[in-house]
Amino acid sequence: MRYLITGGAGFMGSNFTRYILRKYSDAVVLVYDKLTYAGRLENLHDVKDDPRFKFIKADICDEEQLVKAVKEFQPDAIINFAGETHVDRSINEPAPFLKTNVLGVFNILETARKLETPLVVHVSTDEIYGNLWGKEPADEEAPFRPSSPYSASKASGDLLCQSYWRTYRLPVIIVRPSNNYGPYQFPEKFIPKTIIRALHGKPIPIYGRGDQVRDWLYVEDFAEAMDTVINKGSKGEAYNVPGFNERRNLEVVETILKLMGKPKSLIKHVEDRPGHDRRYAMRGDKILALGWRPRTPWVEGLERTIKWYIENEWWWRPLLSDDYFQLDTPWRKG
């Protein structure tokens, strides 16, 4: 099978690329990635010399480049991981989020429609359902109530996919994962930030009281969920991919510190993020019915992640900016 993976040089896309090349000897992959600050060829260092792997540096918002790539590569599926992904950045500067997460998705759908690509799989997010504190976990039919510019842009991309199925019968499947964690995640994100700061004995910021609940899923388990949906999912459907592993933020940091043998005194409570959703939660009946379930137990996944960051300083050290260890809230930098 021929996979055109947009955003394949990012955290989840690179883990998916690695998974597919390992699992299928006849897989051919074209990673199509703009290489924003979050996308790096270092994320693909171990597959870049594989003859089944190709890479092109290009923007999903650039119609000409995308059409050319799809015409030349003739994918069986376009798998869209490309996105602007950091909620804090979307509060500070929403424009790139609207561009990539809405117009970029539109461009992929239009290209697939015109060139009759057999399948598009779009990666959405659990954040589109908004704050579910004190409520039932969302099933795939639950209303969208995004709180941040990031989640609003993701909800828009998701709705465009739905409309292309209903209007044009474009063969598209939507996947809505919960919070992923694991190797190759950019150091600005919660779990790598905690690990890297703990390694340096630096204070670890927690927004507000740290009682926000997220549902954590190991990134390789998500790659397996994507593979399941590609092979067994129904076109026109959306699939939630929960981790079945809800944890309070404070608990996450405390567990990491314990596993690393670091003191809890490193935790520093800072001003909460505006519009911060207290809880995300999804039902997973549809993906479970396809035969997938997460394999990696929480503490084991954390241990593997910590070990990876300890052993791969070459990967994250160049990414630390001068102010990396400051406690300023990003939306105040503006």
Ligand X SMILES: NC(=O)c1ccc[n+]([C@@H]2O[C@H](COP(=O)([O-])OP(=O)(O)OC[C@H]3O[C@@H](n4cnc5c(N)ncnc54)[C@H](O)[C@@H]3O)[C@@H](O)[C@H]2O)c1
Which residues are catalytically annotated? 126-127, 150
Indicate the residue among 247 and 262 with the shorter CB distance to ligand X: 247
- Choose which of 18, 69, 79, 104 interacts with ligand X (CB under 6 A): 104
Choice between 164 and 222, CB closer to ligand X: 222
* Residue 38 contacts ligand X per CB under 6 A: yes
The crossing angle, in degrees rounded to 10, of helices 11-23 and 219-232 is 60
Q: Is the dihedral of CA 114, 116, 122, 128 positive or negative?
A: positive
Nearest approach in angstroms of CB 156 to ligand X is 12
- The residue sitting closest to ligand X, measured at its beta carbon, is 10
Q: Are strands 28-33 and 2-6 parallel, antiparallel or unpaired?
A: parallel
Closest CA to 247 of 294, 276, 212: 212
Residue number, 100 or 267, with CB nearest to ligand X: 100
Helix (H, G, I), strand (E, B) or coil at 65: helix
Q: Judged by CB under 6 A, does residue 223 bind ligand X?
A: no
User: Which member of 3, 5, 7, 79 binds ligand X (CB under 6 A)?
Assistant: 7
Contact call for residue 182 and ligand X (CB under 6 A):
no
Whether the Cβ atoms of residue 132 and residue 279 lie closer than 8 Å to each other: yes
Interaction between residue 148 and ligand X (CB under 6 A): no
CB of 83 to ligand X, least distance (A): 3
Supply φ then ψ for residue 55, to 5 degrees.
-135, 140
Restricted to residues 254-293, the positions that interact with ligand X (CB under 6 A) are none
Does position 115 interact with ligand X (CB under 6 A)? The reply is no
Q: How far is the CB of 263 from ligand X (least distance, A)?
A: 27
Please say whether the beta carbons of 13 and 182 come within 8 A.
no
- Smallest gap from Cβ 86 to ligand X, in A, equals 7
Structure tokens at 31: 């990673």
- Of the pair 101, 198, the CB lying nearest ligand X is at 101
Q: Is 146 in the site for ligand X (CB under 6 A)?
A: no
**154 near ligand X, judged by CB under 6 A:** yes
238: its two tokens: 């959306």
Residue 25 CB, shortest distance to ligand X, in Å, is 25
Q: Which is nearer to ligand X, 13 or 171 (CB)?
A: 13
Q: Which of residues 57-96 bind ligand X (CB under 6 A)?
A: 59-61, 81-85
Q: List the beta bridge partners of residue 239.
A: 175
| Backbone φ, ψ for residue 6 (5° rounding) | -80, 140
Q: Does 305 bind ligand X (CB under 6 A)?
A: no
Closer Cβ to ligand X, 9 or 70, answer by number: 9
| Total Cβ atoms within 10 A of residue 231 | 10
Confirm if 81 and 6 have CB atoms less than 8 A apart.
yes
Is residue 177 involved in binding ligand X (CB under 6 A)?
A: yes
Bridge partners, residue 214, by sequence: 247
Residues 6 or more apart whose CB falls under 8 angstroms from that of 134 comprise: 279
Three-class SS of residue 315? helix
The answer to whether 115 and 39 are in contact (CB under 8 A) is no
> For ligand X, which is the closer residue by CB, 104 or 294?
104
Supply the minimum distance, in Å, between the C-beta of residue 104 and ligand X.
5
Neighbours of 284 (CB within 10 A): 23
CA distance 278 to 280: 7
Please identify which residue in 17, 28, 29, 34 interacts with ligand X, judged by CB under 6 A.
34
Binding site for ligand X (CB under 6 A): 6-7, 9-13, 33-36, 38-39, 59-61, 81-85, 100, 104, 123, 125, 154, 177, 179-180, 186
